[in-house]
Structure 1
Amino acid sequence: MDFDQGLKIATWIVLTVLGLVGVWFSTRQFTLGAKAANREEYKFAKSFFEDIKQNADMHPFARQKGYQAIAGSQSLPAPVIEHLMSLTDPVVALQDYVISKSYLKHVPGTSKRQLDFSGSPFATHERRQAWSLVYAAGFVVAYLVAVTPIIFWMIDKISSSVAIALMTTIFPVSMYVAITLAREVRQIRAGMRLIQAQNEQADREDAAAQP
Protein backbone atom coordinates (compact mmCIF):
# COMPACT_ATOMS: atom_id res chain seq x y z
CA MET A 1 0.00 0.00 0.00
CA ASP A 2 1.49 3.33 -1.04
CA PHE A 3 1.32 6.55 0.96
CA ASP A 4 -1.56 8.08 -1.03
CA GLN A 5 -3.73 5.01 -0.62
CA GLY A 6 -2.99 4.88 3.09
CA LEU A 7 -3.87 8.56 3.41
CA LYS A 8 -7.19 7.98 1.66
CA ILE A 9 -8.09 5.08 3.91
CA ALA A 10 -7.10 7.01 7.03
CA THR A 11 -9.14 10.01 5.91
CA TRP A 12 -12.19 7.85 5.25
CA ILE A 13 -11.91 6.14 8.64
CA VAL A 14 -11.48 9.41 10.54
CA LEU A 15 -14.37 11.20 8.85
CA THR A 16 -16.66 8.18 9.12
CA VAL A 17 -15.93 7.75 12.81
CA LEU A 18 -16.37 11.48 13.46
CA GLY A 19 -19.69 11.41 11.64
CA LEU A 20 -20.97 8.44 13.63
CA VAL A 21 -19.78 9.95 16.90
CA GLY A 22 -21.50 13.22 16.00
CA VAL A 23 -24.77 11.41 15.35
CA TRP A 24 -24.46 9.46 18.60
CA PHE A 25 -23.74 12.55 20.69
CA SER A 26 -26.58 14.49 19.08
CA THR A 27 -29.12 11.87 20.16
CA ARG A 28 -27.92 11.46 23.72
CA GLN A 29 -28.30 13.50 26.90
CA PHE A 30 -25.43 13.76 29.34
CA THR A 31 -25.51 15.02 32.88
CA LEU A 32 -22.50 16.32 34.77
CA GLY A 33 -22.23 15.54 38.46
CA ALA A 34 -24.81 12.77 38.18
CA LYS A 35 -24.24 11.31 41.66
CA ALA A 36 -24.66 14.60 43.49
CA ALA A 37 -27.65 15.51 41.33
CA ASN A 38 -29.29 12.15 42.01
CA ARG A 39 -28.89 12.60 45.76
CA GLU A 40 -30.48 16.05 45.64
CA GLU A 41 -33.30 14.82 43.41
CA TYR A 42 -33.98 11.97 45.83
CA LYS A 43 -34.11 14.30 48.83
CA PHE A 44 -36.44 16.74 47.12
CA ALA A 45 -38.73 14.06 45.68
CA LYS A 46 -38.99 12.31 49.06
CA SER A 47 -39.84 15.57 50.80
CA PHE A 48 -42.31 16.66 48.11
CA PHE A 49 -44.26 13.41 48.05
CA GLU A 50 -44.41 13.40 51.84
CA ASP A 51 -45.85 16.92 51.69
CA ILE A 52 -48.50 15.80 49.20
CA LYS A 53 -49.41 12.83 51.37
CA GLN A 54 -49.73 14.97 54.49
CA ASN A 55 -51.39 17.91 52.77
CA ALA A 56 -54.06 16.76 50.34
CA ASP A 57 -55.20 20.37 49.89
CA MET A 58 -51.80 21.64 48.77
CA HIS A 59 -52.10 24.81 46.74
CA PRO A 60 -52.12 24.07 42.97
CA PHE A 61 -49.21 26.45 42.42
CA ALA A 62 -47.03 24.65 44.96
CA ARG A 63 -48.05 21.28 43.55
CA GLN A 64 -47.25 22.35 39.99
CA LYS A 65 -43.88 23.83 40.93
CA GLY A 66 -43.01 20.71 42.88
CA TYR A 67 -43.74 18.42 39.96
CA GLN A 68 -41.85 20.71 37.58
CA ALA A 69 -38.87 20.71 39.93
CA ILE A 70 -38.87 16.91 39.90
CA ALA A 71 -39.03 16.91 36.10
CA GLY A 72 -36.34 19.57 35.87
CA SER A 73 -38.43 21.54 33.40
CA GLN A 74 -40.77 24.50 33.70
CA SER A 75 -42.40 23.67 30.36
CA LEU A 76 -44.01 20.39 31.40
CA PRO A 77 -47.55 20.63 32.80
CA ALA A 78 -48.00 19.28 36.31
CA PRO A 79 -50.80 16.84 35.29
CA VAL A 80 -48.47 15.22 32.75
CA ILE A 81 -45.69 14.84 35.29
CA GLU A 82 -48.12 13.49 37.87
CA HIS A 83 -49.31 10.88 35.39
CA LEU A 84 -45.74 9.91 34.52
CA MET A 85 -44.95 9.54 38.23
CA SER A 86 -47.78 7.01 38.51
CA LEU A 87 -46.17 4.63 36.02
CA THR A 88 -44.12 1.61 37.03
CA ASP A 89 -40.79 3.18 36.09
CA PRO A 90 -41.33 6.94 36.42
CA VAL A 91 -37.69 7.84 35.74
CA VAL A 92 -37.66 6.12 32.35
CA ALA A 93 -41.18 7.37 31.63
CA LEU A 94 -40.15 10.97 32.28
CA GLN A 95 -37.04 10.62 30.13
CA ASP A 96 -39.03 9.10 27.28
CA TYR A 97 -41.66 11.83 27.53
CA VAL A 98 -39.09 14.63 27.41
CA ILE A 99 -37.58 13.04 24.30
CA SER A 100 -40.86 12.33 22.50
CA LYS A 101 -43.23 15.06 23.74
CA SER A 102 -43.40 16.75 20.32
CA TYR A 103 -45.13 13.61 19.03
CA LEU A 104 -47.48 13.09 21.98
CA LYS A 105 -50.72 14.51 23.28
CA HIS A 106 -52.07 14.50 26.81
CA VAL A 107 -55.73 14.06 27.70
CA PRO A 108 -56.19 15.23 31.31
CA GLY A 109 -58.43 13.24 33.60
CA THR A 110 -58.50 10.08 35.64
CA SER A 111 -57.83 7.74 32.74
CA LYS A 112 -54.86 5.41 33.02
CA ARG A 113 -54.12 6.05 29.34
CA GLN A 114 -53.71 9.82 29.32
CA LEU A 115 -50.86 9.88 26.80
CA ASP A 116 -51.01 8.95 23.14
CA PHE A 117 -49.50 9.93 19.81
CA SER A 118 -51.05 12.96 18.15
CA GLY A 119 -52.00 13.07 14.48
CA SER A 120 -53.41 10.43 12.17
CA PRO A 121 -50.01 9.44 10.70
CA PHE A 122 -49.15 7.98 14.12
CA ALA A 123 -52.58 6.69 15.09
CA THR A 124 -51.57 3.02 15.15
CA HIS A 125 -48.53 1.06 16.22
CA GLU A 126 -47.99 -0.10 12.66
CA ARG A 127 -47.91 3.47 11.35
CA ARG A 128 -45.45 4.54 14.03
CA GLN A 129 -43.25 1.59 13.21
CA ALA A 130 -43.43 2.43 9.51
CA TRP A 131 -42.49 6.08 10.07
CA SER A 132 -39.56 5.14 12.28
CA LEU A 133 -38.33 2.80 9.54
CA VAL A 134 -38.75 5.53 6.92
CA TYR A 135 -36.72 7.95 9.01
CA ALA A 136 -34.11 5.28 9.68
CA ALA A 137 -33.81 4.56 5.96
CA GLY A 138 -33.51 8.28 5.29
CA PHE A 139 -30.71 8.46 7.84
CA VAL A 140 -28.81 5.67 6.08
CA VAL A 141 -29.22 7.37 2.69
CA ALA A 142 -28.14 10.77 4.01
CA TYR A 143 -25.12 9.27 5.74
CA LEU A 144 -24.08 7.38 2.61
CA VAL A 145 -24.41 10.57 0.56
CA ALA A 146 -22.19 12.34 3.08
CA VAL A 147 -19.36 9.81 2.73
CA THR A 148 -19.76 9.14 -1.01
CA PRO A 149 -17.17 11.76 -2.07
CA ILE A 150 -14.61 10.07 0.18
CA ILE A 151 -15.38 6.67 -1.33
CA PHE A 152 -15.11 8.00 -4.89
CA TRP A 153 -11.83 9.69 -4.00
CA MET A 154 -10.47 6.46 -2.51
CA ILE A 155 -11.19 4.47 -5.67
CA ASP A 156 -9.78 7.24 -7.88
CA LYS A 157 -13.08 8.15 -9.48
CA ILE A 158 -12.63 11.83 -8.65
CA SER A 159 -9.61 14.01 -8.01
CA SER A 160 -8.56 15.37 -4.64
CA SER A 161 -9.71 18.88 -5.54
CA VAL A 162 -13.16 17.65 -6.55
CA ALA A 163 -13.38 15.51 -3.42
CA ILE A 164 -12.53 18.49 -1.22
CA ALA A 165 -15.09 20.67 -3.00
CA LEU A 166 -17.79 18.05 -2.56
CA MET A 167 -16.86 17.42 1.06
CA THR A 168 -17.19 21.09 1.96
CA THR A 169 -20.71 21.20 0.52
CA ILE A 170 -22.27 17.74 0.58
CA PHE A 171 -20.81 16.43 3.84
CA PRO A 172 -22.15 19.09 6.26
CA VAL A 173 -25.59 19.23 4.64
CA SER A 174 -25.97 15.46 4.48
CA MET A 175 -24.72 15.00 8.03
CA TYR A 176 -27.19 17.62 9.26
CA VAL A 177 -30.01 15.71 7.55
CA ALA A 178 -28.72 12.41 8.95
CA ILE A 179 -28.55 13.79 12.50
CA THR A 180 -32.04 15.28 12.20
CA LEU A 181 -33.50 11.98 11.00
CA ALA A 182 -31.67 10.06 13.73
CA ARG A 183 -33.28 12.35 16.31
CA GLU A 184 -36.71 11.76 14.80
CA VAL A 185 -36.22 8.01 15.02
CA ARG A 186 -35.18 8.33 18.66
CA GLN A 187 -38.20 10.50 19.47
CA ILE A 188 -40.68 8.11 17.86
CA ARG A 189 -39.11 5.06 19.49
CA ALA A 190 -39.12 6.75 22.90
CA GLY A 191 -42.79 7.65 22.47
CA MET A 192 -43.65 4.11 21.45
CA ARG A 193 -41.83 2.73 24.48
CA LEU A 194 -43.65 5.14 26.81
CA ILE A 195 -47.11 4.48 25.39
CA GLN A 196 -46.52 0.73 25.49
CA ALA A 197 -45.43 0.87 29.14
CA GLN A 198 -48.43 3.04 30.04
CA ASN A 199 -50.96 0.81 28.28
CA GLU A 200 -49.47 -2.43 29.60
CA GLN A 201 -49.66 -1.09 33.15
CA ALA A 202 -53.25 0.02 32.59
CA ASP A 203 -54.14 -3.43 31.25
CA ARG A 204 -52.61 -5.10 34.31
CA GLU A 205 -54.48 -2.82 36.69
CA ASP A 206 -57.75 -3.33 34.84
CA ALA A 207 -57.28 -7.10 34.94
CA ALA A 208 -56.48 -7.01 38.66
CA ALA A 209 -59.58 -4.93 39.37
CA GLN A 210 -61.90 -7.44 37.73
CA PRO A 211 -63.71 -9.80 40.14
Structure 2
Amino acid sequence: MDISYWLKLPALLSAFVVLSKFLYDLASGKLTKLREEYRFAKELLNDIESGDLHPYAIQKGYQALVGTTNISTEEVEYILTLKDSAQCLSDYVFARKYLEKIESRGNTLLRFKPKYHSGKKRYLLISWYAILYFIFAMLVASPFIFNIWLNFSGTDILLLVTISTSIFALPAWLSLKEGTRLLRGQHLVANQKSHSWKLLVQH
Protein backbone atom coordinates (compact mmCIF):
# COMPACT_ATOMS: atom_id res chain seq x y z
CA MET A 1 0.00 0.00 0.00
CA ASP A 2 1.28 3.47 -0.89
CA ILE A 3 2.70 5.20 2.20
CA SER A 4 1.10 8.45 1.05
CA TYR A 5 -2.25 7.03 2.14
CA TRP A 6 -1.02 6.76 5.70
CA LEU A 7 0.40 10.26 5.58
CA LYS A 8 -3.14 11.56 4.99
CA LEU A 9 -4.35 10.24 8.36
CA PRO A 10 -2.71 12.98 10.49
CA ALA A 11 -4.36 15.62 8.30
CA LEU A 12 -7.76 13.98 8.79
CA LEU A 13 -7.23 13.72 12.55
CA SER A 14 -6.18 17.37 12.73
CA ALA A 15 -9.30 18.39 10.84
CA PHE A 16 -11.39 16.30 13.25
CA VAL A 17 -9.82 18.01 16.27
CA VAL A 18 -10.37 21.49 14.82
CA LEU A 19 -13.99 20.69 13.93
CA SER A 20 -14.60 19.23 17.40
CA LYS A 21 -13.22 22.37 19.04
CA PHE A 22 -15.47 24.55 16.89
CA LEU A 23 -18.54 22.44 17.68
CA TYR A 24 -17.68 22.44 21.40
CA ASP A 25 -17.45 26.23 21.43
CA LEU A 26 -20.72 26.44 19.54
CA ALA A 27 -22.44 23.95 21.87
CA SER A 28 -21.18 25.71 24.98
CA GLY A 29 -22.35 29.12 23.78
CA LYS A 30 -18.93 30.73 23.41
CA LEU A 31 -19.56 31.98 19.89
CA THR A 32 -21.69 34.97 20.87
CA LYS A 33 -21.86 38.68 20.07
CA LEU A 34 -19.92 39.90 23.10
CA ARG A 35 -19.95 43.61 22.30
CA GLU A 36 -23.71 43.72 21.93
CA GLU A 37 -24.14 41.71 25.14
CA TYR A 38 -21.83 44.11 26.99
CA ARG A 39 -23.76 47.19 25.89
CA PHE A 40 -27.12 45.63 26.72
CA ALA A 41 -25.96 44.40 30.15
CA LYS A 42 -24.50 47.80 31.00
CA GLU A 43 -27.67 49.64 30.03
CA LEU A 44 -29.88 47.14 31.88
CA LEU A 45 -27.89 47.31 35.13
CA ASN A 46 -27.78 51.11 34.96
CA ASP A 47 -31.56 51.21 34.50
CA ILE A 48 -32.07 48.82 37.43
CA GLU A 49 -29.76 50.81 39.70
CA SER A 50 -31.75 53.95 38.92
CA GLY A 51 -34.69 52.36 40.73
CA ASP A 52 -37.20 53.47 38.09
CA LEU A 53 -37.89 50.11 36.46
CA HIS A 54 -41.03 48.12 37.16
CA PRO A 55 -40.37 44.50 38.32
CA TYR A 56 -41.96 43.27 35.09
CA ALA A 57 -39.46 45.29 33.05
CA ILE A 58 -36.61 43.96 35.19
CA GLN A 59 -37.70 40.38 34.65
CA LYS A 60 -38.03 40.91 30.90
CA GLY A 61 -34.64 42.61 30.85
CA TYR A 62 -32.99 39.67 32.56
CA GLN A 63 -34.72 37.24 30.21
CA ALA A 64 -33.51 39.23 27.21
CA LEU A 65 -30.01 39.27 28.70
CA VAL A 66 -29.82 35.49 28.99
CA GLY A 67 -31.87 34.75 25.87
CA THR A 68 -34.63 32.68 27.48
CA THR A 69 -37.92 33.20 29.33
CA ASN A 70 -37.37 30.04 31.36
CA ILE A 71 -35.56 31.82 34.19
CA SER A 72 -36.67 33.92 37.14
CA THR A 73 -35.45 37.28 38.44
CA GLU A 74 -34.33 35.62 41.68
CA GLU A 75 -32.20 33.08 39.81
CA VAL A 76 -30.44 35.76 37.78
CA GLU A 77 -29.82 38.03 40.77
CA TYR A 78 -28.34 35.15 42.76
CA ILE A 79 -25.98 34.20 39.94
CA LEU A 80 -24.90 37.84 39.59
CA THR A 81 -23.48 37.60 43.12
CA LEU A 82 -21.12 34.80 42.10
CA LYS A 83 -17.52 35.25 41.09
CA ASP A 84 -17.20 35.33 37.27
CA SER A 85 -20.94 35.93 37.09
CA ALA A 86 -21.05 36.25 33.28
CA GLN A 87 -19.67 32.75 32.83
CA CYS A 88 -21.85 31.41 35.65
CA LEU A 89 -24.99 32.89 34.08
CA SER A 90 -24.10 31.35 30.72
CA ASP A 91 -23.42 28.01 32.42
CA TYR A 92 -26.73 28.10 34.25
CA VAL A 93 -28.82 28.85 31.19
CA PHE A 94 -27.09 26.09 29.25
CA ALA A 95 -27.12 23.43 32.00
CA ARG A 96 -30.42 24.36 33.64
CA LYS A 97 -32.16 21.08 32.72
CA TYR A 98 -29.76 19.29 35.08
CA LEU A 99 -29.87 21.83 37.94
CA GLU A 100 -32.25 23.04 40.62
CA LYS A 101 -32.33 26.04 42.93
CA ILE A 102 -32.92 25.42 46.65
CA GLU A 103 -33.17 27.59 49.75
CA SER A 104 -31.16 26.43 52.73
CA ARG A 105 -31.17 28.43 56.01
CA GLY A 106 -32.02 31.58 54.11
CA ASN A 107 -29.33 31.06 51.49
CA THR A 108 -29.85 30.24 47.84
CA LEU A 109 -27.96 27.31 46.39
CA LEU A 110 -27.74 25.70 42.98
CA ARG A 111 -27.21 21.97 42.82
CA PHE A 112 -27.77 19.02 40.52
CA LYS A 113 -31.22 17.48 40.49
CA PRO A 114 -31.50 14.30 42.59
CA LYS A 115 -31.18 12.13 39.48
CA TYR A 116 -27.72 13.61 38.83
CA HIS A 117 -26.43 14.08 42.40
CA SER A 118 -23.85 11.33 42.07
CA GLY A 119 -20.52 12.59 40.76
CA LYS A 120 -19.73 9.06 39.55
CA LYS A 121 -22.95 8.95 37.54
CA ARG A 122 -22.19 12.33 35.97
CA TYR A 123 -18.68 11.17 35.07
CA LEU A 124 -20.09 8.06 33.42
CA LEU A 125 -22.68 10.12 31.52
CA ILE A 126 -20.05 12.60 30.30
CA SER A 127 -17.81 9.71 29.21
CA TRP A 128 -20.74 8.03 27.46
CA TYR A 129 -21.65 11.21 25.57
CA ALA A 130 -17.99 11.69 24.60
CA ILE A 131 -17.80 8.13 23.24
CA LEU A 132 -21.05 8.58 21.33
CA TYR A 133 -19.81 11.85 19.86
CA PHE A 134 -16.55 10.25 18.73
CA ILE A 135 -18.37 7.30 17.13
CA PHE A 136 -20.93 9.43 15.31
CA ALA A 137 -18.33 11.99 14.24
CA MET A 138 -16.17 9.21 12.81
CA LEU A 139 -19.19 7.86 10.95
CA VAL A 140 -19.80 11.32 9.47
CA ALA A 141 -16.18 11.43 8.33
CA SER A 142 -16.06 7.76 7.27
CA PRO A 143 -16.32 8.47 3.51
CA PHE A 144 -13.11 10.51 3.68
CA ILE A 145 -11.39 7.88 5.82
CA PHE A 146 -12.32 4.98 3.53
CA ASN A 147 -11.45 7.07 0.51
CA ILE A 148 -7.79 6.81 1.56
CA TRP A 149 -7.87 3.12 0.61
CA LEU A 150 -10.82 2.80 -1.78
CA ASN A 151 -10.25 5.94 -3.87
CA PHE A 152 -13.90 6.84 -4.52
CA SER A 153 -14.89 8.95 -7.48
CA GLY A 154 -15.92 12.53 -6.81
CA THR A 155 -19.59 11.69 -7.34
CA ASP A 156 -19.45 8.66 -5.04
CA ILE A 157 -17.75 10.49 -2.18
CA LEU A 158 -20.20 13.40 -2.46
CA LEU A 159 -23.10 10.96 -2.23
CA LEU A 160 -21.56 9.08 0.70
CA VAL A 161 -20.82 12.30 2.59
CA THR A 162 -24.39 13.47 2.07
CA ILE A 163 -25.74 10.17 3.42
CA SER A 164 -23.37 9.97 6.41
CA THR A 165 -23.97 13.61 7.35
CA SER A 166 -27.75 13.34 7.12
CA ILE A 167 -27.78 10.23 9.33
CA PHE A 168 -25.01 10.78 11.87
CA ALA A 169 -24.38 14.55 12.18
CA LEU A 170 -27.38 15.25 14.42
CA PRO A 171 -26.64 12.42 16.90
CA ALA A 172 -23.01 13.61 17.06
CA TRP A 173 -24.14 17.19 17.77
CA LEU A 174 -26.67 16.14 20.43
CA SER A 175 -24.13 13.90 22.19
CA LEU A 176 -21.60 16.72 22.30
CA LYS A 177 -24.24 19.17 23.52
CA GLU A 178 -25.46 16.97 26.40
CA GLY A 179 -21.93 16.21 27.55
CA THR A 180 -21.17 19.92 27.46
CA ARG A 181 -24.30 20.69 29.52
CA LEU A 182 -23.10 18.40 32.30
CA LEU A 183 -19.58 19.85 32.24
CA ARG A 184 -20.90 23.41 32.41
CA GLY A 185 -23.25 22.45 35.24
CA GLN A 186 -20.36 21.00 37.23
CA HIS A 187 -18.36 24.17 36.69
CA LEU A 188 -21.22 26.30 37.97
CA VAL A 189 -21.99 24.19 41.05
CA ALA A 190 -18.29 24.13 42.02
CA ASN A 191 -17.92 27.88 41.43
CA GLN A 192 -20.48 28.68 44.12
CA LYS A 193 -17.68 28.10 46.62
CA SER A 194 -16.32 31.46 45.44
CA HIS A 195 -19.52 33.30 46.34
CA SER A 196 -18.86 37.01 46.81
CA TRP A 197 -22.07 37.68 48.79
CA LYS A 198 -22.03 41.17 47.29
CA LEU A 199 -25.47 41.99 45.95
CA LEU A 200 -25.14 43.87 42.70
CA VAL A 201 -28.80 44.86 42.53
CA GLN A 202 -30.86 46.26 45.34
CA HIS A 203 -34.61 46.86 45.26
TM, length-normalised to structure 2: 0.72
Could you tell me which of 167, 176, 193 is aligned with 1:173? 167
Measured after TM superposition, the shift of residue 142 of structure 1 is 1.1
**Alignment equivalent of 2:107, drawn from 111, 116, 137:** 111
123 and 144 in structure 1: CA distance in 2 versus 1, 3 angstrom threshold? same
Shift of 1:72: 4.5
- Listed as ranges, the matches of 1:63-74 within 5 Å are 63-74=58-69
* Aligned counterparts, 1:1-211, within 5 A: 13=12, 16=15, 20=20, 23-24=23-24, 26-27=26-27, 28-32=29-33, 34-51=34-51, 60-107=55-102, 110-113=106-109, 115-120=110-115, 122-156=116-150, 159-160=152-153, 163-198=157-192, 200-201=193-194
What is the CA distance between 1:171 and its match in structure 2?
Answer: 3.0
Q: Cα distance 1:147–1:35, how it changes in 2: closer, same or farther (>3 A)?
A: closer
The one-character-per-residue Cα deviations of 1:141-162 (angstroms, maximum 9, x if unpaired) are 1111222232222112x75466
| Runs of 5+ unmatched residues, structure 2 | 198-203
- Alpha-carbon separation, structure 1, partners of 2:43 and 2:166: 44
Following superposition, the deviation at residue 191 of structure 1 comes to: 0.5
**By how many angstroms is 1:172 displaced?**
2.9
Q: Which runs of 5+ in 1 are unaligned?
A: 206-211
Could you tell me how far 1:98 is from its partner in structure 2? 1.3
Per-residue deviation, 1:131: 0.9
Give the root-mean-square deviation of aligned CA atoms.
3.6
Q: Render the CA deviation track for 1:101-143: whole Å, top value 9, x for unaligned.
A: 1221223573242x222242x1122221221111111111111
Partners in 2 of 1:37 and 1:90 — Cα distance? Answer: 14
Match for 1:116: what amino acid? R
Runs of 4+ in 1 over 6 A off after TM superposition: none
Q: Radius of gyration: which is bigger?
A: 1
Kindly indicate whether the alpha-carbon contact (under 8 Å) linking 1:23 and 1:178 is maintained by their aligned counterparts in 2.
no
User: Does the C-alpha gap of structure 1 residues 169 and 36 become closer, same or farther in structure 2, counting only changes over 3 Å?
Assistant: closer
The alpha-carbon distance between structure 1 residues 21 and 193, as it changes in their structure 2 partners (threshold 3 A), is: closer
**Counterpart Cα distance in 1 of 2:64 and 2:157:** 51
Structure 1 distance, partners of 2:70, 2:127, is: 30
Assess if the C-alpha contact under 8 Å between 1:117 and 1:123 holds in 2: yes
**Cα deviation code 1:16-69 (max 9, x no counterpart):** 56954763464244334x335413421321331352xxx9xx865355345435
Residues 50 and 69 of structure 1: CA distance in aligned 2, closer, same or farther (over 3 Å): farther
TM-superposed deviation, 1:184: 1.1
Q: Structure 2 vs 1, CA of residues 107 and 59 (structure 1 numbering), >3 Å: closer, same or farther?
A: farther
Are the counterparts in 2 of residues 140 and 178 from structure 1 also a CA contact under 8 Å? yes
Count of aligned pairs:
189
